[in-house]
């Protein structure tokens, strides 16, 4: 199995001279089996260049797993060229919309409705199927299994565990560490604390011994203090999670939109000093980085 980062930015695309090395496109990860079968994790703007390459050599089937439906994780779908080509088979998987009581189907349709887009979803030429997922479901693709786990984010967000070619990858999507929203002494503190501990145990079990963890690490600790509840993790939280789960390698992604290459370099250097004796093998993911699992 091999993964390639097509987009590593969070919240909003950030093109320009200050984001060349780590990338300005939003979240998209290409996962290939040893035989070349294709899984795509999230469809941020990074999916566009992948689609251009696939147009020249389309796979028999394309499986797109959407962690959640915030713009930066779906906004590349209308620009994914294989959707416009007859004969292509594309399946889009993702969470339900509990507010509107719908499945994953409207995600693409709504993006391409007038007046937002000039081409309607109904005009696409590929054979497109949708599958709405549930928590702790496993999808058997034949060449791989993809399992879901509900994470902590303002929108319903699934982490995906991919088992392929005897290796495992876990992608958090957007995730904030579970925390108790009540203060000690509040009437609901103890009950909610049991829920938090149960969710932490489920996450630890899902991550135990994975070969690669791809984790949301948008904030520094100082930034997180001002943005608690926004649904994102810190560098330290992500690395602690990896250490406690015994993850083989860690890729930190979903870089803050205003973070420059130089600032990410400085953060990387600081983390390498602070975590030098931890045993955690980590990198800050850059657009175009490829990793054999």
Q: What is the secondary structure of 38-96 as a DSSP string?
A: EEEE--STTHHHHHHHHHHS--S-EEEE-S--SHHHHTTGGG-GGGGSTT-EEEEEE--
Q: d(Cα 214, Cα 1) in Å, to the nearest integer?
A: 14
Residues 199, 152: contact at Cβ < 8 Å? yes
DSSP code for 181: S
- Categorize the per-residue pLDDT at 107 as very low, low, confident or very high, splitting at 50, 70 and 90: confident
The per-residue pLDDT for 99 is: 86
| CA dist., res. 72 & res. 161, Å (int) | 21
Give residue 183's pLDDT band: very low, low, confident or very high (50, 70, 90): very high
Kindly tell me if the per-residue pLDDT of 229 is higher than 90: yes
Give the mean pLDDT of 268-281: 95
Span 227-244, average pLDDT: 95
Task: Please tell me the predicted confidence (pLDDT) of residue 60.
Answer: 82
Average pLDDT, the chain: 96
Nearest alpha carbon to residue 29 among 5, 59, 54: 5
Mean pLDDT of 173-199: 94
Q: What integer pLDDT is reported at residue 108 of this predicted model?
A: 87
Q: What is the mean pLDDT of residues 46-68?
A: 94
Among 42-56, 105-119, 193-207, the range with the most confident prediction by mean pLDDT is 42-56
What's the burial of 151, exposed, middle or buried (CB within 10 Å: 0-12/13-18/19+)?
buried
Q: Say which CATH topology domain 2-292 has.
A: Metallo-beta-lactamase; Chain A (3.60.15)
Q: What does the pLDDT average to over 69-86?
A: 96
* Structure confidence at residue 18 (pLDDT): 97
Please report the pLDDT score of residue 280 as a whole number.
94
Q: Is the pLDDT of residue 220 over 90?
A: yes
- Residue 177 vs residues 29, 117, 193, 246: alpha-carbon distances, Å: 22, 36, 13, 17
Residue 100: which pLDDT band, with cuts at 50, 70 and 90?
confident
Q: Tell me, what's the pLDDT at 59?
A: 83
Looking at residue 243, its pLDDT comes to 94
Residue 133 region, left (φ>0) first, then alpha (ψ -120 to 50), else beta?
beta
Answer with the residue of higher pLDDT: 58 or 218: 218
Question: Region 2-24: what's the mean pLDDT?
Answer: 97
Instruction: Quote the CA–CA distance of 34 and 106 in Å, as a whole number.
Output: 33
């Amino acid at each position: 199995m091999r993964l390639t980062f097509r987009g590593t930015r969070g919240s909003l695309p950030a093109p320009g001279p200050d984001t060349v090395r780590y990338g300005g496109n939003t979240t998209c990860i290409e996962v290939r089996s040893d035989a070349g079968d294709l899984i795509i994790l999230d469809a941020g703007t990074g999916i566009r260049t992948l689609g251009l390459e696939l147009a020249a050599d389309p796979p028999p089937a394309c499986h797109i797993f959407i962690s959640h439906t915030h713009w930066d994780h779906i906004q590349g779908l209308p620009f994914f060229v294989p959707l416009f080509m007859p004969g292509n088979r594309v399946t889009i998987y993702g969470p339900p919309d509990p507010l509107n009581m719908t499945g994953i189907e409207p995600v693409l349709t709504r993006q391409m409705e007038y007046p937002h887009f000039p081409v309607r979803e109904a005009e696409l030429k590929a054979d497109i199927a949708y599958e709405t997922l549930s928590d702790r479901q496993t999808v058997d693709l034949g060449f791989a299994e993809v399992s879901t786990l509900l994470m902590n984010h303002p929108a319903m967000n699934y982490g995906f565990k991919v088992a392929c070619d005897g290796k495992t990858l876990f992608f958090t999507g957007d995730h904030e560490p579970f925390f108790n929203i009540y203060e000690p002494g509040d009437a609901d503190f103890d009950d909610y604390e049991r829920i938090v501990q149960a969710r932490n145990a489920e996450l630890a079990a899902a991550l135990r011994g994975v070969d690669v963890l791809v984790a949301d690490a948008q904030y520094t600790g100082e930034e997180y203090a001002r943005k608690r509840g926004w649904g994102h993790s810190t560098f330290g939280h992500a690395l602690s999670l990896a250490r406690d789960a015994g993850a083989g390698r860690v890729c930190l992604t979903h870089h803050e939109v205003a973070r420059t290459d130089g600032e990410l370099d400085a953060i990387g250097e600081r983390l390498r000093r602070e975590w030098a004796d931890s045993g955690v093998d980590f990198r800050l993911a850059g657009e175009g980085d490829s990793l054999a699992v």
